[in-house]
Amino acid sequence: MKLLIIDDEAHVRKALHLIIEKADLGITQLYEAADAGRALELIEREDPQIIISDVVMPEMTGIQLIEQLKASHPYTKTIIVSGHNDFHYVRSALRAGSIDYLLKPLGREQIAAAVTKAVRTWNEEAKMREQVIANTREVDQLSAVYQRVLLSRMLYGSVRQEELEKLMRGAEMVSFKNGCQLLLLSFSHLQHQTGQIPLLTQTSVEEVIRELLKSQEVQGITYANQKAFTECVILLPFHFNAAHLCESIREQLIQEIGCCLPFALFPCPDFPTGLPSAYEQAVQFLHMTPLTALTEGIAFKAGQARWTKSTKRAELKIPASFRQEMFSAILSGSTHMIQEHACKWTALLSEEACVLSDITLLLRRYEAIKLSVLNDIRSDFSRNLQNHWKSTDKITLPFNSYGWFKPELLSQLLEDDLTDLANQFQLNQRKEASVIQEIILYIREHYKEEINQSLLADRFFISKDYLSHKFKEETGMGMIHYLNLLRIEKAKQLLMLPNAKINEVAAAIGYNDEKYFCKVFKKYELISPSQYRENLRSPPFRL
């Protein structure tokens, strides 16, 4: 913080300088002046926050100096020093805004207290000024946001009369008192391509348009629709010839963000009450834009398109056979079948009357059929497959980098999607064949332990029904039957040991109940374990 000492007596200036310098009062720079003229030069050049001035000086008094500084340096804190205990001086100093009035001779504590008070007061007021500036900036930002919200609500006719009147009093709205033109740009295909609209892209588009309006000296307003973030709205004066601006926007967007955004321009002579109608027409116009126009990358204005709403179009119908064809293509993994099926979907959009909304509808139907097919496939699969099957992502709209529709891109997108699903199916088929072999190996290594279908299903992340079905398919027998056969074979080997007791043999192969073991053994060998052992010692006589 800077402090200026003004006094025509050099020894007073030096004493004040030393006291303040040694007191560590937060003063980083000290200046001295012997008269008001020199003081004013230093004030203009250095702008000190605190001034200590003698009341009696050549040219002008300290009181007069304070009065002069009030206009040019209103935040500067002043301390008056005087050798006169005169009430007139004291009152004049305080009225002029001096923070303190000190009488000579000056003491260290007296000077330190006055400077400390001045420093504290200046810092507190500086914080208050910063807060006021921050609050003002925040209010301005909120006002801008509030204006965009109101402008967006105007598109739907949902602005209260008092809000509308307040908005119309704004300087930007003067150009629209005789009507306006609504220019609507759509980001919808960017949203479908990425799942969201990149904030940078959206901001760039608004900035490009604002710069064009400024360069062409057009009194327009640009804002993102707060209720539909896939749209950017530009309001233009009613009699403005927008043809050149529209072409400039198209060229500039391709140059700046690498894509072309479809847009529609509709008049609104009755502004603001007619704005919802103009907006609705623009939205419908974009939704019903012919694919031929999108394929050529044409950006339309109202009245320029050959296609009109009166054109009769056949309803988009998906053949019933498509579901079975998709099912077969995925299960077969045939490249030819997949390509053929993808082309059939694209062929539905090949007619000239087909419009942008039909692409969206077709992709929704495709996703619905695909989901149904996947559910059928999964119902035949294991829980392992259901856990690891790649979740189906929605197909993006087939626009190229310039934002133009290309039918061949749609075919390729569908082909890639179906190929990915077919590859996932084949991969899981191979995994399923190997999992049964792993189960068989586990049974042979752990037959002595408690084993059942629930335990194996949980361990290998498959369903009990699937385990039962697939195990029998791979081995020709049920899992329990396979386990029992394995245990009985192991029991027969142990029964060859003369000292092995029946209950010990049963426990060694996983049966804790000797009677149950004997029952199972007799079921498979037709004789009891004891008889089997006797036969080993003295084989039965045969003729």
> Where do the domains of the chain lie, and which CATH numbers do they carry?
2-136 (3.40.50.2300), 144-301 (3.30.70)
| Closest C-alpha to 219, from 256, 177, 258 | 177
Walk across the sheet containing 29-33 and list its strands. Answer: 29-33, 2-6, 50-54, 77-82, 100-103
Q: What is the pLDDT of residues 192-233, one digit of tens each?
A: 444 444 454 567 788 888 888 888 888 888 888 877 777 889
Q: What is the pLDDT of residues 29-68, one digit of tens each?
A: 999 999 888 999 999 999 999 999 988 887 788 888 888 8
**Pairing verdict, β 231-237 and 100-103:** unpaired
Residues in the chain: 543
pLDDT at 1: 92
Apex 70 CA angle, 65 and 75, nearest 5: 115
Find all residues with CB under 8 Å of 100, minimum gap 6, and list them.
Answer: 79, 80, 114, 117, 118
User: Which alpha helices (DSSP H) does 30-107 contain, by range?
Assistant: 36-46, 62-72, 87-96
Percent of the chain whose pLDDT exceeds 70: 80
DSSP label of 225: -
Q: How far apart are CA 255 and CA 86, in angstroms?
A: 76
The CA dihedral of 183, 188, 189, 192, to the nearest 10 degrees, is 170
499 CB burial (10 A radius; 0-12, 13-18, 19+): exposed
Walk across the sheet containing 180-186 and list its strands. Answer: 221-224, 231-237, 180-186, 263-268
- Amino acid present at 99: I
Q: What is the pLDDT of residues 502-524, one digit of tens each?
A: 989 999 988 888 899 999 999 99
Lowest-confidence pick of 2-11, 111-120, 285-294, 384-393? 384-393
130 CB burial (10 A radius; 0-12, 13-18, 19+): exposed
Per-residue tokens: 89 = 């001086």
User: Contact, 388 vs 435, CB < 8 A?
Assistant: no
- Amino acid present at 22: K
User: Contact, 258 vs 401, CB < 8 A?
Assistant: yes
Lowest-confidence pick of 225-229, 267-271, 319-323, 419-423? 225-229
| Closest C-alpha to 6, from 32, 28, 29 | 32
User: Contact, 297 vs 258, CB < 8 A?
Assistant: no
- Amino acid present at 271: F
Distances (CA, A) of 502 to 447, 494, 524, 526, 536: 18, 9, 16, 17, 15
- Does the pTM exceed 0.85? no
CB atoms near residue 439 (< 10 Å): 23
